[in-house]
Amino acid sequence: MTKRRDISIKVPVLARVEGEGALDIEVRDGKIEELKLRIFEPPRLFEKFLEGRSYGEVADIVARICGICPVAYQMSAVHAIEQVFECDPGPWVREMRRLLYCGEWLESHGLHVHLLALPDFFGFNSVAEMAKKFPDEVKRGLALQGIGNEIVRFLGGRSVHPVGVRIGGFYKAPAAAEAVALVEKVRQQLKHAEALLRWSAALDLPDSSQEFVSVSTRHTDEYPMNEGHIVSDAGLDLSIDKFESHFKEQQAPHSTALHCHLDGRPYLVGPLARLNLNHDLLPDAVKSLLRDCGIAFPNQNMFHSIIARSVEIYYGLFEAARILENYIVPDLPYVDVSPKAGIGFGCTEAPRGLLWHRYELDADGRIVQATIVPPTSQNQARIEEDLHNELLTFGLEHDDAALRLRAEMVIRNYDPCISCSTHFLDLRIKRS
């Protein structure tokens, strides 16, 4: 008779963002019988907060949903509302929104790569420890994150929860001299981004490819940020207003964080998914650098997400430089809008992946109903699937510390906007 072996892993998580999390695993006879990533986020009710609010308040409210990616929430919101109002802000606003998004990608990816991911791969408990051995690399990372702050501040007025965005455009256009000064700083950081990309490509990362479905937006002639239709490598191709016909959010009994599925299956959003589906749209200079570094897409190894973020850091600087080099001060940085009743959709690419908004407005431009599907909820089921596969492949016979670190590394590959993106505090295993 085979002896039954039960393992219960409970992993409390540091609440860097509001909420708590835990990973529960039940193992019998060397197999994972049940795995639950528990997220204990208290209700934040942003969708309900928006009801009854005027359209002009929405951009500032949704920016508070996330301190790391406020631009993404603003962009998805303004696109949706402008769709209802049948408003086209024009090419200047479109380019500046793209520039603003570049800044957010640089902020977020720079922070994640250097403060959250790299310490894992080098065996350090924190970036402070890592800085003792790699001081220049950490300084480089902070500089890349810092230029993202400056780009967001250029148009948003400040780098955290920017206030420069409005329906129809921006409240203020920066002076030409500010753009000249900023583009020079951006150019200076390109060599640092190239060095980071070469360094990350040479890292000894775990070899752990898995089958998963990649999902992102796709544009006809540019790497996707603000606009596009929704595609997958499984053949999906639909307009953003059809999102709910294939994607369904549901409440998982073990978590307050919603899980979203594509036709009943887990899927991946984020930088690795974007590159898997859109690497052909990168500029030739970026493609050339990737070939020189030996980087190829599509890629099914989630541990290579750090490489994907490094690619998007380089691309973000490259694109920001292009936009700033052609910067002109417009007569007016926005277009006037006329409120209308209707339903509008916005879908943009947050640093962590596809961010979908739906708004219903009345004739006065007040929000009747709002639906927001963030990238973290879309990745939740994929994270659990990844943890199941990776921990089983890694080996459940490893000690507590090794299992804990592996689980942390897997979760942080997704850079989730939840508490479990940081280091776990404790791990308890019960064997019988």
CATH, domain 46-378, list 1.20.272.10, 3.20.20.70, 1.10.645.10, 3.40.50.10490: 1.10.645.10
Say if residues 224 and 349 touch (Cβ distance below 8 Å): yes
E strand intervals along 125-172: 165-166, 169-170
What are the tens digits of pLDDT across the range 410-427? 988 998 875 444 444 344
CA dihedral 272, 278, 279, 284 (to 10 degrees): -140
Share of the chain above pLDDT 70, in %: 91
- pLDDT given for residue 45 in this prediction: 83
Least confident interval from 221-225, 316-320, 375-379: 375-379
What are the tens digits of pLDDT across the range 1-44? 333 334 444 433 332 233 456 788 888 888 888 888 877 666 77
- pLDDT given for residue 418 in this prediction: 57
- pLDDT given for residue 39 in this prediction: 75
Q: Which amino acid is at 186?
A: V
Q: Which amino acid is at 178?
A: E
What are the tens digits of pLDDT across the range 135-182? 999 999 999 999 999 999 999 999 988 999 999 999 999 999 999 999
> What would the 3-class secondary structure string for 201-216 be?
HCCCCCCCECCCCEEE
Q: Which amino acid is at 279?
A: H
In this structure, the number of other CB atoms found within 10 A of the CB of residue 378 comes to: 29
Question: Can you tell me whether residue 19 is helix, strand or coil?
Answer: coil
Say if residues 55 and 167 touch (Cβ distance below 8 Å): yes
- pLDDT given for residue 20 in this prediction: 57
Mean pLDDT of 200-217: 95
Instruction: Provide the residue ranges of all domains of the chain, joining segments of one domain with +.
Output: 46-378
What are the tens digits of pLDDT across the range 95-131? 999 999 999 999 999 999 998 889 888 888 888 999 9
Say if residues 414 and 266 touch (Cβ distance below 8 Å): no
